[in-house]
Structure 1
Amino acid sequence: MSGVTIETDATDNPSEAVEVLRRVFGYSEFRGRQADIIEHVIGGGDALVLMPTGGGKSLCYQIPALVRSGVGVVISPLIALMQDQVDALHALGVRAGFLNSTQDFQARRQVEQAFVDGELDLLYLAPERLRLEPTIQLLERGKVSLFAIDEAHCVSQWGHDFRPDYLGLSELHERWPDVPRIALTATATKATHGEIAQRLNLEQAEHFVASFDRPNIQYRIVPKAGANQQLLALIRTEHAGDAGIVYCLSRASVEKTAQFLCDNGIKAVPYHAGLDARTRSTNQSRFLREDGLIVVATIAFGMGIDKPDVRFVAHLDLPKSVEGYYQETGRAGRDGLPSTAWLAYGLQDVVQQRKMIDSSEGDEAHRRKQSRHLDAMLALCETVECRRVQLLNYFGQSGEKCGNCDTCLNPPESWDGTVPAQKLLSTVWRLDRERNQRFGAGQVIDILLGKRTDKVVQHRHDQLTVFGIGADLSEAAWRGVVRQLLAQGLLTVEGDYGTFALTTASDDVLGRKREVMLRRESEKVARAAVAKPKKTAAVDMPAEAAPVFEALRAWRGAEAREQGVPAYVILHDATLRQIATLMPKALSDLAGVNGVGETKLARYGQGVLDVLAEFR
């Protein structure tokens, strides 16, 4: 195999890393804390890295693996994506391989021999393979330059994606005490961070915590009112022809939503654990390789997806935690271009999540943890402050109003909802105490509005003293009140039917000891009249460059199909935009474009120049 390995002693000048960055990856400088992290690991130090999706985590172990002597071993749970990860490295001229259960004996044997012979720069392994003694023996036969533990939050039972196989990774340090380890994750609260360090024996490691801010993503949370139609409007008006991910809570809703989009002329495929492995693999492959395809999925999809041009992530159901929401939305705009994180959220979401927690398996501590996750997610949904600031605060970071989320663009009003809250809580109390009955939102709101429905008359609820006392608010407004009382813990959901009950905090409201401030959606937000994502200097492209960009995309698509790899493996959209704007005339000019390293210049440079020649 040909490769790009630069082998040096651990004490070499860190500028060696900059040379690899430029020559292999085609970038002139590091971002954020990358340089510090890479220098530390090259020097043989252990590191725990918290960096947002799209922040450049992979370079933090790939470059040290290329600089240090030996093979970098990457532990990753993403078996279905290892081939694509290795293909992307091959396109850069990096000697990479993987070992997992998808390979036949001969393929595994070939990779194992390449590792032993020192003909690899990087070797990807699934964590469960490290429980097998033959894998340990293999690693002892070769020379390991570093261990990279990707998606490190999987070790934490506080996190949102716990994987038991990760618990054994602390043994790496015991078997190879002189080999540096770097653990990386895109999402970690203080509790998750601490558990990662403790379980992987990285308390003494250098900890690098980057900003979790993704300024290119516009966060928007809208009241749910016909979610599928709202989603369709978002795609047609803002993201026509764009790649996107739509998350739903259940497999059934995934199937229905994907079919709905297809019926309305939008290219979409479903992805969930109930599909057979071949269909899942095909749909994931299509998403990675086709331009403008939308995947509708449960949270079973997405971790490790390195597709840089996902322009939007939409949630049609409430995520279970802020960590999960942040990681899922972070799959948009990995290339730094403007992207949208959109969530439709309604009363039924809150009721459903509360019911799921109450009926979940596990002990009381587990349910309390789930409730805390949900409370934080509800606080994000109901905030009247900047959503980005709220997100950063959740991860223990500070920030200023971004001017690019829905609450900044169309600030919602706060209003004193104490009296409406008392009316609603009083209705729930009277149903329980006077009639020994419990009902959900529909019946309670009908009573407040004074509606003599069949159900109201049947139960003689029109004879309650609270009947009709809420006619001053609309049904939609009352649903908002209910939703926010649930979010504030002033109302709770009980039983299989999702009926309402008071909480200990309800007494303070009914006893006039506590004010209740509520959020009022502005008319602009209700009509979804939200500004387009901000443009930045890094992505501005003159109008005359647009046809050149599209021609380059067409050329890239043909190259990708011929090689059987995702288009972004050839060149990223951001790189094509820069080429279309600069219109380089020679290979030497093209070499100065971000994302064009030596291998890509040699493989694709002339093809790019041939496309540009048509526009001169």
Structure 2
Amino acid sequence: MDLYSPLKKYFGFNKFKGLQEKVIESIVNNHNTFVIMPTGGGKSLCYQLPALMKEGTAIVVSPLIALMKNQVDAIRGISENNGVAHVLNSSLNKTEINQVKEDIVNGITKLLYVAPESLIKEEYITFLQSQKISFVAIDEAHCISEWGHDFRPEYRNLKNIIKTIDNVPVICLTATATEKVQEDILKTLGITDANCFKASFNRPNLFYEVRPKTKEVEKDIIRFVKQRPGKSGIIYCLSRKKVEEIAQILQVNGIKAVPYHAGLDAKTRVKHQDMFLMEDCEVVVATIAFGMGIDKPDVRYVIHHDIPKSLESYYQETGRAGRDDGEGYCLAFYSYKDIEKLEKFMSSKPVAEQEIGHALLQEVVGYAETSMNRRKYLLHYFGENFDEINGEGADMDDNSRNPKKKHEAKEDVAKLLKVIKESLQQYKSKEIVNILIGKENALLTSHKTHLQPYFGIGKDKSASYWMALLRQIMVVHFIKKEIEQYGVIKMAKEGEEFLKKPTSFMMTEDHSYNEEDDNSIIANSKSSGGSADEVLVKQLKDLRKKAAMKLGIPPFAIFQDPSIEDMALKYPINLDELSKVHGVGEGKAKKFGNDFVKFIADYVEENDILRPDDLIVKSTGVNSGIKLYIIQNTDRKLPLEDIADSKGLEMSELIKEMEAIIYSGTKLNIDYALDDLLDEDQQEEIYDYFMEAKTDKIQDALDEFDGEYDEDELRLMRIKFISEVGN
């Protein structure tokens, strides 16, 4: 069968991409067909070409109006007759609907795009029953499966509707589907006899990196974007509020960014989408609503500010980078706190849905925390093997570029497999780990597993160690997840063989994303912009000490240590730049800054340093309103409790805001509040302490006074002291 002439005639191509030719052949020969092809692999051509070749109209079921509109415009672009493709959905008026029907009756329309909701309507079903239908294509078919990452209940009923209209072949297409999802789709549509085509999920041009999500995440994102001027990128966030915040912070820092989420009106969404396509903006900050069917080939990076709910979502969203086979950088920020937040959201859902959600989330945790080749982990999840040494794109991830330590774990693998086998292969991974570390729970006691001799044989290691090892032996096929009872761990042939005759198994040590990492700027300065210049830190501290001696005040009253470190990271060479350094502000810059910026400017010149201007991150001023309120109302001598209450703050939070004000160089007069708390002698005693102290740490002051004053009293006195001496 000649498929090349129509391909050239309609689309102007000389050759097919990947599996397209085989898929089209299957459809033209009236077979039920199931296609799994990653984003950007040319899925839509698989049903567009057969529809143009065959007699009658092909119905294409698609979940998104924007996506349908894009495709209809594209097909109309290759035909002299606009009626060749139509959309049938809630956005049409009566006249438009009649026009669609007329074109179908006259045999002009080859592709009819419908939303599943429209296909349920009695009037449409009756009309379509009387027409010649060539086949039904179901795009985004993972929506059929509740195991998919985007389940839509109205998709479940498609089988009956298709049968009602006509007994025609069904074509399902999806960009992501695990074995569980594939099985579910074929069963639900009653097409278990379908020809299945599965393209490789490997996108060798994409680089995968996961970084710990710290308090500096916004700064990291700005730094990343500024290092790629003029390149297009997408930043995904889970909530609309976060989308707005990040878009605003980027704008304030001179980056052309627009927000995109379902809360914006349709006109704004279209405008922002077009700005991105037409390169009037560099970055779209979006919830997952964005990107479905966006055909922008040169997206150079996709950043996940929040980790998504499933690896399918992650794969699909990262797949929007580098569609033209050029550079594509996929960066995700991860903290286990986000996973806990997602689990909280799920708790209101039905139990069955919660179980699925938890299982999908655990896969995401595994991906984020793994230290093995990320591409191998991801492709294994989609049922594909990958050679991490010679495979295409083998070194395109952070773990391969910075390999973690490995150690011999032969005995531990044997223990793990023994527990799975002897506990009768009936548990999910979490329970297997509980058995190993000897942690009882209702499920284990009901099966009397806690009484078995193997219970607790791995208690010398942590739960996270066993979970990491379990994931690693799954990827090498020693064990597998049961598809029917999803998540139950079963032994595989390779695992049985290992148990009989254990051989060496080198385990890579997992990344640790602890709370302690929270304040650290991410390691690997090459990719994240570096850490403070230690030589300069030391010299600036000497300079501070000299200035303090000259003025007769303690060094911390001039600049605190975090400010000094920030100077050694940002190299400010004028007062305006210095005022943007952490904890400095205009007042302090003017009062003490001249010597410092002159010193830094000389240092930069002598050492030939390239200054990272992009690191001076401006804030959106969200808190400046509170600060102004505090300054005005302490001037009016309003009681501190009243100021805190009116802004919904705890006392300790109010003190923190006040500290930020005085440490950036603005004076605050809170004598009136201190006079209510402490008498004159007490105030003098604490004031003298700070004048002599080596540091302004409150813990040191608490130790010194040994319970005589509480923390709030000491912090308020420190505010008075810095305000008078340092500002």
TM-score > 0.5, shorter chain as reference: yes
Structure 1 position 213 matched with structure 2 position 210: no
- Name which of structure 1's ranges 148-157 and 80-89 shifts more when overlaid on structure 2: 80-89
Question: What is the distance in 2 between the residues matched to 1:124 and 1:513?
Answer: 53
**What's 2:99 paired with?**
110
1:392-411 alignment runs, 5 A limit: 392-401=379-388, 402-411=394-403
Aligned to 1:82, what secondary structure does the other structure show? Answer: helix
* Runs of 5+ consecutive residues of structure 1 not aligned to the other structure: 1-12, 418-484, 492-503, 532-616
**What's 1:372 paired with?**
359
**Aligned match of 1:360 in 331, 336, 348?**
348
Question: What is the distance in 2 between the residues matched to 1:202 and 1:262?
Answer: 50
Question: What is the distance in 2 between the residues matched to 1:411 and 1:137?
Answer: 62
**What's 2:319 paired with?**
330
Deviations 1:52-72 (A, max 9, x none): 011111111011111111222
Question: What is the distance in 2 between the residues matched to 1:342 and 1:506?
Answer: 40
**Aligned match of 2:213 in 212, 224, 234?**
224
Aligned to 1:80, what secondary structure does the other structure show? Answer: helix
Question: Cα offset for 1:280?
Answer: 2.6
**What's 1:91 paired with?**
77
- Name which of structure 1's ranges 272-281 and 376-385 shifts more when overlaid on structure 2: 272-281
Alignment identity in percent?
43
Aligned to 2:39, what secondary structure does the other structure show? Answer: coil
Question: What is the distance in 1 between the residues matched to 2:376 and 2:111?
Answer: 38
Aligned to 1:305, what secondary structure does the other structure show? Answer: coil
1:509–1:224: structure 2 CA closer, same or farther, 3 Å change rule? farther
Aligned to 2:60, what secondary structure does the other structure show? Answer: strand
**What's 1:519 paired with?**
510
TM normalised by structure 2 equals 0.56
1:109–1:88: structure 2 CA closer, same or farther, 3 Å change rule? same
1:512–1:46: structure 2 CA closer, same or farther, 3 Å change rule? closer
Question: Cα offset for 1:416?
Answer: 11
Higher relative contact order (CA 8 A, sep 6+): 1
Q: Return the letter of the residue paired with 2:526.
A: A
How well do the aligned residues superpose, as a CA RMSD in angstroms? 3.0
**Aligned match of 2:283 in 294, 302, 310?**
294
**What's 1:535 paired with?**
none
Aligned to 1:519, what secondary structure does the other structure show? Answer: coil
Question: Cα offset for 1:275?
Answer: 2.4
TM normalised by structure 1 equals 0.65
**What's 2:109 paired with?**
120
Aligned to 2:4, what secondary structure does the other structure show? Answer: helix
**What's 1:413 paired with?**
405
Runs of 4 or more above 6 Å deviation = 488-491, 504-509, 521-525
Question: Cα offset for 1:126?
Answer: 0.8
Q: Is the 8 A contact 1:222 1:343 kept in 2?
A: yes
**What's 1:234 paired with?**
224
1:38–1:291: structure 2 CA closer, same or farther, 3 Å change rule? farther
* Runs of 5+ consecutive residues of structure 2 not aligned to the other structure: 389-393, 410-429, 438-449, 469-508, 514-519, 529-727
Deviations 1:81-127 (A, max 9, x none): 32222112222237222111122222222222112211122111111
Deviations 1:436-470 (A, max 9, x none): xxxxxxxxxxxxxxxxxxxxxxxxxxxxxxxxxxx
Q: Is the 8 A contact 2:369 2:512 kept in 1?
A: no
**What's 2:376 paired with?**
389
**What's 1:245 paired with?**
234
Question: What is the distance in 2 between the residues matched to 1:316 and 1:414?
Answer: 30
Deviations 1:15-74 (A, max 9, x none): 2x2222223223221122111110010011110111101111111101111111122211
Q: Return the letter of the residue paired with 1:337.
A: G
1:513–1:336: structure 2 CA closer, same or farther, 3 Å change rule? closer
**What's 2:574 paired with?**
none
1:67–1:325: structure 2 CA closer, same or farther, 3 Å change rule? same
Aligned to 1:336, what secondary structure does the other structure show? Answer: coil
Higher Cα radius of gyration: 2
Deviations 1:164-203 (A, max 9, x none): 1111210244235542221100111111111111111111
Question: Cα offset for 1:149?
Answer: 0.5
**Aligned match of 1:51 in 37, 44, 52?**
37
**What's 1:31 paired with?**
17
Q: Is the 8 A contact 1:409 1:530 kept in 2?
A: no
Count of residues in correspondence between the two structures: 434
Structure 1 position 138 matched with structure 2 position 119: no
**What's 1:479 paired with?**
none
1:173–1:260: structure 2 CA closer, same or farther, 3 Å change rule? same
Aligned to 2:526, what secondary structure does the other structure show? Answer: coil
1:286–1:110: structure 2 CA closer, same or farther, 3 Å change rule? farther
